[in-house]
Amino acid sequence: MKKKAKILVGLSGGVDSAVALYLLQKQGYEVEAAFMKNFSEKVNIKGTCPWKEDRLMAYRVAAQLKVPIQTFDFEAEYHDKVVNYIFDSYKAGLTPNPDVLCNNEIKFKLFLDKAMKLGFDKIATGHYAQVKEDKNGWHLLRGKDPNKDQSYFLAGLNQKQLSKAVFPIGDIKKPEVRQIAKQAKLVNADRKDSQGICFIGKVDLKIFLQQKIKPKVGDIVDTKGNVLGEHQGVWYYTIGQRKGLDIGGSGPWYVVKKDIKNNKLIVGHVDDEALYNKSVQISDLHWLAKEHKLPLKAKAQIRYRQPGQEMVIKSPKPPLSRGLYEVEFKKPQAGVASGQIIAVYKGKELVASANIV
């Protein structure tokens, strides 16, 4: 990337994106900032997104660094693409991953397109991930800090998006990021990290979903069919969930299946075979750079911060439907949920992703 490239930095109000902006400025790039307004009380969905505090902090950081900043209002698009996706997925019995979709559709699509139209060369965010270029294209690598690596959330990006992405803190560990912020006396140096999707962050998931998915009482049963209690709606639970079941007996209990058709929530113990999967089916297999030949031995994550699990992606064979592939794990995996994203790694590079069926 040439010096003096114009880079638009997505400022969230958090310390990570603030340090990303600070570092790019120090390195001599022409930088400006933008705050993405994705959710507010205007939408007919109640949540707890502190967007006003976040925007104020983003503007304070930009003012401190003497960097121009503007606000992009993506609220309507975010509601259509991400919020509706959450409700639709849970209603269908799936477990969605809105963080991945937000990166695909908002940050590295709408935000990127806006930046390009405004004459910027690249966009930058505070993600803990790295992008490298070689003769085979652009490659997404894990962040240097194993405790903060966020490459999983970027698993749906393509070559165009990767070619325009800059992750200034991807090769820095979190404690060092905090230290840089303090040394630079950034106004948000001590601000706590945000947790999860902003508008669900402090809201009970069941209460949030009940705004659009009405309760439907049914039985909670064990894997042998014994009735243990009642649920208010199978869609309010996630596979592998332990808390919030409110049933007694010889627990702890874990959700192993959501039977939407019969309105039953099936639970089991931690040593119950029903909780584990040795293989899963995946769809929409997406290669971030070059396509690898199958079968492919690699490591994969089925959730954020999970250590890489040895597995093989196999070519589709009958009775698999067209477009479906099979992933076979070396060790059975607990809490595999349909609708989640599987991220495939070769070494530190994230090479592919897919939806768990």
pLDDT class of 1 with cuts at 50, 70, 90:
very low
| Per-residue confidence (pLDDT) for residue 86, from 0 to 100 | 93
Q: How far is CA 271 from the centre of its chain?
A: 29
Q: Which of 9, 62, 69, 102 is catalytic?
A: 102
- What is the set of domains in the chain, with CATH numbers? 6-183 (3.40.50.620), 215-271 (2.30.30.280), 275-356 (2.40.30.10)
| Per-residue H/E/C for 87-107 | HHHHHCCCCCCHHHHHHHHHH
Active site includes 49? no
Kindly report, residue by residue over 112-132, the tens digit of the pLDDT: 999 999 999 999 999 999 999
Burial of 159 (0-12, 13-18, 19+ CB in 10 A): middle
Model's pTM, two decimal places?
0.94
SS3 162: helix
| Lowest-pLDDT choice from 53-62, 171-180, 291-300, 319-328 | 319-328
Active site includes 198? yes
- pLDDT reading at 269 higher than 90: yes
Nearest to 223 by CA among 261, 263, 253, 262: 253
| Per-residue confidence (pLDDT) for residue 341, from 0 to 100 | 98
Kindly report, residue by residue over 180-217, the tens digit of the pLDDT: 999 999 999 999 987 666 666 666 788 889 999 999 99
Q: Which of 198, 285, 296, 351 is catalytic?
A: 198
Kindly report, residue by residue over 216-256, the tens digit of the pLDDT: 999 999 999 999 999 999 999 999 999 889 897 787 999 99
